[in-house]
Amino acid sequence: MRRFPILDAWRSLAILLMIVYHFLYDLYIFGVLSASQLFSTPLNILERFICCSFILLAGACARFSRNNIRHGIVVLVCGTAVELGALVGGQVIRFGILQFMGISMVLYHFLGKYVQRWRPGILAATSAALFLLTGWWTGATPVPVGWLYPLGFTAPGFYSADYFPLLPWFFLFLIGTVLGGWCLRHQENRLLTRSLPGVLTWPGRHSLPIYVLHQPVLYGISYLIWGMKG
């Protein structure tokens, strides 16, 4: 898979911020932070930036990958492991970001050759419009059944600590593929070719194992410090 150091560094930043955010979330679980502190506007913006970064970068890398089915299945398996781990820790995750990205990679394997026929600007603008419209549509349309949540339609009482349904988020993934296409067309651009220190790119190159393993470690540390006091 083609790699660009600047994208690895962007993913490294997202990973670092995610670790910080999840540590704050653990502090909330153990009563160190209040709900008003964790779910404040600045931290909500931070959380959206982190997740949107991962999705855009996943879309970009889908343009570079030679085997999106294999990559998608690996990410899906990791997403399932995260969901099971969260269940052990007393949290409920249904169709979290890893499962979403895994499914999106598999879908793109089949749809990519058709999507790439669109002009990049038209694809980006259409995807942005559909992202907003489908986000509003699914949010305003509760359903009486519980099995449509992967598409974004939820029944009353649905809860997931991490939830990224195909609608609207697949359209943000497609915007990421536009970014990836731009990178492929401008491979000699100095922004893309400039070498960066390994400390900036290494986490981004190993983001999946870091994502899977960081929360059990953080939760364990938090439990030892604050949980055992309770």
Q: Write the Ramachandran bin of 95: left for phi over 0, alpha for psi from -120 to 50, otherwise beta.
A: left
Which residue type does 2 have?
A: R
pLDDT beneath 50: ranges in the chain: none
CA distance 185 to 178: 11
Alpha helices in 140-197 (DSSP H): 166-185, 190-193
Residue owning tokens 């749809």: 111
CA distance 57 to 212: 17
The Cβ of residue 97 has, within 10 Å, a number of other Cβ atoms equal to 22
Residue 230: the pLDDT is: 55
CA distance 87 to 83: 6
Residue 229: the pLDDT is: 64
Copy the structure tokens of residue 190. 């100095």
